[in-house]
Amino acid sequence: MNQETDKTIASVGRPGLIRKIAGYSTYRSETVVKGIGDDAAVLAGSETRLGLLSSETFVEGVEFDLSFMPFHQVGAKAVSAAVSDIYAMNGLPRAVIVNLAIPNRITLDMIDDLYKGIGMACADYQCQLAGGDLTGSHNALIISVSVYGDVDKEKIVYNSGAEIDDAICVTGDVGSALAGLKVLLREKRHWEESGDPIMQPDLAEWDHVVKRQLVPVARKDMVALFHDKGIRPTSMIDVSQGLLSDLQRLAGNSKRGAYIYQSALPIDLQTRKVADEMQEDVDKYALYGGEDFELMFTLPEKEAEKLSKINSEFTVIGKITAKDGLVEMQTGEGDVAVFGGPAGS
């Protein structure tokens, strides 16, 4: 075996792997307006609308832990994560297909509960559970959610349209889903160490971050606002991999750079408290956390200012620069940290 053969996936990273995969997408269908590289594939639809298609897979023990996540929350979260990709294109989800690979230990009642969560989330996002596939699994429960949505041709937003000097906006707060996970894992450890099977952790103090981990909500409200006010961001992406990684992708795909202010990162007080207790750097939670399912979008500065007067659900964290693929962050101390790395995909 040569070194190339032996290469691990970690060594090329996720963006590298996605670029590699794109190399095997050689057949071009007229139906596909935009393939690999954005939150959803874009499909030719009617005269006025485009179709959107995205899919996500969730593996027990990787994306979710059944020891502290009830089945209905697992189901709802999977749907939220999937529809978030449609909102990131400024579209609306319409239909969801759910595939399950089910190990033997999972009972009918558990599956029932899982689908209750899926059904409720579908109703929340106004999309129909329209099919799925069922198969077995030796170990982990595996959930794949595919979502079809659509968007007016003039309203579609790609992750590649950011312009120099645009304001970079982020909805809600970031890093809280990771903070919630840290709290839940700590409580799980306490519970395991206590040997008391009925011990119930008191999570009231951490309600916000725990909720953000267990039942994140995709930002349909922001897309509704854009549609309502006739606002079309120049670019948009959902914050699912982590703010920095998603910003690098947006900047790289736009062939632009980004300059952000560490002090402007929207971090909830509870997230700060978790990081304090864990003796960790809260900015790392915000930059690398992932699973926040917030929307990051860019708008000309004046439009962002105007929008901020009617809506307080987002924060301006910086602006787009001409430096292709480069993300710079002005720290609290006034230094500038530079993140190059793999941009775009």
User: Which 211-250 positions form the footprint of its own copies (CB under 8 A)?
Assistant: none
Strands 32-34 and 235-239: unpaired
Question: For its own copies, which is the closer residue by CB, 44 or 164?
Answer: 44
C-beta separation of 234 from 327 below 8 A: no
185 touches its own copies by CB under 8 A: no
168 touches its own copies by CB under 8 A: no
- The DSSP code sequence of 291-308 is ---EEEEEE-HHHHHHHH
Give the range of 12-20, 179-187, 304-312, 320-328 binding its own copies by CB under 8 A: 12-20
Residue 256 tokens, joined: 């632009």
C-beta separation of 112 from 119 below 8 A: no
51 touches its own copies by CB under 8 A: yes
Give the range of 2-10, 174-182, 272-280, 327-335 binding its own copies by CB under 8 A: 2-10
- Selected from 65, 66, 70, 132, the binder of its own copies by CB under 8 A is 132
Q: Which of 286, 345, 267, 320 is nearest to 22 (CA)?
A: 345
Give the range of 47-55, 262-270, 275-283, 315-323 binding its own copies by CB under 8 A: 47-55
Residue 121 C-beta-side C-alpha neighbours within 13 Å: 33
24 touches its own copies by CB under 8 A: yes
- Selected from 19, 50, 59, 166, the binder of its own copies by CB under 8 A is 59
14 touches its own copies by CB under 8 A: yes
61 touches its own copies by CB under 8 A: yes
Question: For its own copies, which is the closer residue by CB, 9 or 269?
Answer: 9
198 touches its own copies by CB under 8 A: no
The SS3 of residue 144 is strand
Question: Measured in whole angstroms, how far is the alpha carbon of residue 312 from the centre of its chain?
Answer: 21
Q: How far is the CB of 14 from its own copies (least distance, A)?
A: 6
148 touches its own copies by CB under 8 A: yes
C-beta separation of 175 from 271 below 8 A: yes
Size of site (CB under 8 A) for its own copies: 82
Question: For its own copies, which is the closer residue by CB, 41 or 69?
Answer: 41
Q: Which residues, at least 6 apart from 45, have a Cβ–Cβ distance to it below 8 Å? A: 51, 150
12 touches its own copies by CB under 8 A: yes
Q: Which of 87, 86, 56, 60 is nearest to 74 (CA)?
A: 60
50 touches its own copies by CB under 8 A: no
102 vs 127: CA distance, rounded Å: 24
Question: For its own copies, which is the closer residue by CB, 131 or 340?
Answer: 131
Q: Which residues, at least 6 apart from 51, have a Cβ–Cβ distance to it below 8 Å? A: 42, 43, 44, 45, 148, 149, 150
Q: Which residues, at least 6 apart from 120, have a Cβ–Cβ distance to it below 8 Å? A: 72, 76
The SS3 of residue 205 is helix
Question: For its own copies, which is the closer residue by CB, 12 or 215?
Answer: 12
Question: For its own copies, which is the closer residue by CB, 242 or 318?
Answer: 242
DSSP state of 97: E
62 touches its own copies by CB under 8 A: yes
Q: Which of 145, 218, 180 is nearest to 69 (CA)?
A: 180
The SS3 of residue 216 is coil
Q: Which residues make beta-bridge pairs with 330?
A: 261, 336
Binding residues among 69-128 for its own copies as defined by CB under 8 A: 94-95, 97, 99-102, 104, 106-109, 111-112, 115-116, 118-119, 122-123, 126-128
- Selected from 56, 238, 268, 292, the binder of its own copies by CB under 8 A is 56
CA 111, 133, 42, 44 torsion: positive or negative?
negative
8 touches its own copies by CB under 8 A: yes
334 touches its own copies by CB under 8 A: no
133 touches its own copies by CB under 8 A: yes
153 touches its own copies by CB under 8 A: no
17 touches its own copies by CB under 8 A: yes
